Amino acid sequence: MTKPSKDVLYVIAFLCSLFFLNLLYSTLSLSRESIKDLVDGDAHSLIDENTAKPVEKKDLPNPDEVNLKLSFMGDVFWGRYVNDWSQASSLKYQYPFSGLNTFQKVEKEAWIANLECPITPINLSSTEQDRLLKFTCLPQYLPEASKWFDVFSLANNHTDNMEDVMGYEVTKDYLEKSDIQYFGHYNNKQDNICNVVTLEGSASFSELKTEVEYQKVLEMKSEDILEEYNNDSLTTIFNVPIALCGYHNVFRLPTKEELSEISKYSKLFPTFVMPHQGAEYGMKADSLQQKYYKLMIDNGADAVIGGHTHTVHNTEVYNGKLIAYSVGNFIFDQQLSTDVTRSLVVKADMIFDIDDNFAKWLNFAASCKYDSSDCLAEAISKNLQKPTFTIKYDAIVGDSSAKLTKKASIVESNKVLDRINWSKTLEDLGQ
């Protein structure tokens, strides 16, 4: 067989080169056009890959459900002997929180508790704190505390203990830097009793059928209406504002005017009240707790969760609303009896009704995230209405014996829940 000449081989090589160059150019051109379509494409005319027909633009469908998970705890205190235990432990500033994983906090669950101390850099010894009953909590614990707690009440009889160094204002500053929200005042100052806090609620969709709907979600996220969007589970994270009110009633009872602060907020926001009141170490609510906590419901509170007594008190339903008279010590250094080492965690699972009013209220929520001080006034100016919702309650018992807070055993939990009439309370709530 005769070998082809060099000229013929050159021609074949040249033709092959042209073929591959043309193929490469076509591929690159297709890529450029595809990218151009993605960048310049009209969102009004996206193509459904299954039908190859344009899909009309439509609004994001209403979510099937918007849910906000809240957990209310009692007194939290990492000063005095808790600090001693922590520094004796290899965990140091992580120690007081090292058993909290037993409560199985879920994603987007907000923990709300009473902070029973001002946060200052003044390191008083446990002996001094005990002798003077002057509490202080070191800020070094905040990085770990902020992993668990979302909001603290400052309405109690110890947040004024370090006013010689402006402890209340210093505490607020430390909390803000740690991204922990707060409410309440040790002297029931009317402009500090209630505060609007913005928490993360989740919304689920049965489906997002088109890219348009997905893009709509992204637009809402960019406007701070949504925090996150998960395309796999079809869930979004919304900013949800609620009002929290705190009352320090240990040395004096609240006035009618102070109680009326609740109604200003409860007309527009879901409103939860955390009073600090009652005889220390008592085992059930006294007549004054019953009177004033019910007045708080009368002023519009959606639930009242009390503290101060260092013990867990009875629960009841008044006008269809939950009252937990005292939820005890959550993180505290008292070890004198079983009763002071038990606490109640009240879990409130809120489900919001989806309607036009809720959509307006949710859009408004973004403006409360960074500056809640003007939220009430803005909500009034926009003529917003309080959203409708239902609350499903549950309870967990805490155990801080052996100098560490953790979830109580089933046996110990049942003892506490039986004593406080929890089953009857749930029945009266219709659960």
Q: CATH number for the domain including 323?
A: 3.60.21
Helix (H) or strand (E) holding 378: helix 375-381
Q: Which is higher by pLDDT, 384 or 289? A: 289
Question: CA 76, CA 403: separation in Å to the nearest integer?
Answer: 13
Please check the confidence at residue 226 and state whether its pLDDT lies above 70.
no
92 — alpha (psi -120 to 50), left (phi > 0) or beta?
A: left
pLDDT of res. 55: 31
> Is 231 a member of any domain?
no
For 217, phi then psi, to 5°, come to -60, -45
Please check the confidence at residue 419 and state whether its pLDDT lies above 70.
yes
Task: Check if the beta carbon of residue 380 is closer than 8 Å to that of residue 421.
Answer: no
> Is 317 a member of any domain?
yes
pLDDT of res. 225: 52
Question: CA 134, CA 294: separation in Å to the nearest integer?
Answer: 31
Please check the confidence at residue 276 and state whether its pLDDT lies above 70.
yes
| Residue reference for tokens 């009692």 | 74
pLDDT of res. 19: 47
Task: Check if the beta carbon of residue 190 is closer than 8 Å to that of residue 256.
Answer: no
* Confidence band of 27 (pLDDT split at 50, 70, 90): very low
pLDDT of res. 236: 72
Q: Which is higher by pLDDT, 395 or 59? A: 395
Residue type present at position 142? L
pLDDT of res. 38: 26
- Kindly state the tokens that stand for 16: 């092959």
> Is 8 a member of any domain?
no
Q: Lowest-confidence range among 46-60, 104-118, 177-191, 241-255? A: 46-60
Percent of the chain with pLDDT over 70: 77
- Kindly state the tokens that stand for 57: 């633009």
Average pLDDT, the chain: 84
| Residue reference for tokens 């500056």 | 371
DSSP 199: E
Residue type present at position 370? Y
| Closest to 334 measured CA to CA, from 152, 109, 133, 87 | 133
Mean local confidence (pLDDT), 252-269: 97
* Confidence band of 292 (pLDDT split at 50, 70, 90): very high
> Is 37 a member of any domain?
no
pLDDT of res. 11: 44
- Within 13 Å and on the Cβ side, how many CA atoms surround 91? 14
Please check the confidence at residue 45 and state whether its pLDDT lies above 50.
no
- Kindly state the tokens that stand for 132: 């003077």
The per-residue pLDDT for range 89-124, each reduced to its tens digit, is: 999 999 999 999 999 999 899 999 999 999 999 999
Percent of the chain with pLDDT over 90: 67
Question: CA 221, CA 227: separation in Å to the nearest integer?
Answer: 6
Mean local confidence (pLDDT), 387-404: 97
Question: CA 279, CA 259: separation in Å to the nearest integer?
Answer: 21
> Is 59 a member of any domain?
no
- Kindly state the tokens that stand for 391: 């609350």
For 107, phi then psi, to 5°, come to -60, 135
- Kindly state the tokens that stand for 30: 């297709």
Question: CA 145, CA 82: separation in Å to the nearest integer?
Answer: 14
Beta 54-55 vs 46-47: how paired, if at all? Answer: antiparallel
Domain that holds residue 192: 65-203+236-428
DSSP 422: H
Residue type present at position 303? A
Task: Check if the beta carbon of residue 225 is closer than 8 Å to that of residue 362.
Answer: yes
> Is 179 a member of any domain?
yes
Please check the confidence at residue 370 and state whether its pLDDT lies above 50.
yes
Cβ-based neighbour number of residue 97 at 10 Å = 22
Residue type present at position 38? L
pLDDT of res. 163: 95
Please check the confidence at residue 60 and state whether its pLDDT lies above 80.
no
Q: Lowest-confidence range among 100-114, 292-306, 365-379, 414-428? A: 365-379
Q: Spell out the alpha helix ranges (H) of 231-347.
A: 256-259, 261-266, 287-298
DSSP 427: H
- Kindly state the tokens that stand for 312: 């867990």
pLDDT of res. 378: 86
Please check the confidence at residue 40 and state whether its pLDDT lies above 80.
no
* Confidence band of 36 (pLDDT split at 50, 70, 90): very low
- Kindly state the tokens that stand for 256: 């009618």
| Residue reference for tokens 């902020």 | 146
Name the domain count of the chain.
1
For 116, phi then psi, to 5°, come to -90, 40
Q: Lowest-confidence range among 194-203, 249-258, 395-404? A: 194-203
| Residue reference for tokens 């979600």 | 217
Mean local confidence (pLDDT), 316-326: 98
Q: Which is higher by pLDDT, 316 or 236? A: 316
pLDDT of res. 15: 47
Task: Check if the beta carbon of residue 175 is closer than 8 Å to that of residue 157.
Answer: no
Mean local confidence (pLDDT), 275-303: 98
- Kindly state the tokens that stand for 387: 């959203």
Give the total residue count for the chain.
431
Please check the confidence at residue 213 and state whether its pLDDT lies above 60.
no
Question: CA 181, CA 154: separation in Å to the nearest integer?
Answer: 10
Task: Check if the beta carbon of residue 169 is closer than 8 Å to that of residue 175.
Answer: no
